[in-house]
Amino acid sequence: MKVELKGRPIVPGLARGKALVSKKPLSFLGGVDPETSIIIEKNHDLNGQEINGNILCFPHGHGSTVGSYVLYSLVKRGIGPKAIVNETADPVVVVGAVIAEVPMVDGINIGQIGNGDVVEVNGGKGIVRIVKRKKPCI
């Protein structure tokens, strides 16, 4: 059964992939290794996880405006997220997503998305569809 979440369109585009979900804000400057796309922010719930190729879902960004450039450079090097889903869009993340052309939606309760769920993001319509839930470990 597909679940459709409606938010606010931020950056148009379509993407499908596995959700990488965090309950904590994320800074691209100092929080993500620009060489590997691995989250390195201390005490972050996704520390050690790679954002490359995932749909990155987190409440909002924080940190320096240079984070916009870090996001852009990750995408241009082919190691960025496929899309970004936020509860509240942060200007730093929005600018990075716009210049890198990463589909982005905000106004989504990311608590409804599970880590590893397969999701589709329509940044132009502000829609996030959960198309497949990750099977729980037994």
List the catalytic residues: 64
CA triplet 24, 29, 32: central angle to 5 degrees? 65
Query: In whole angstroms, how far apart are CA 47 and each of 41, 42, 43, 81, 105?
Result: 6, 7, 7, 16, 23
The three-class DSSP label of residue 20 is strand
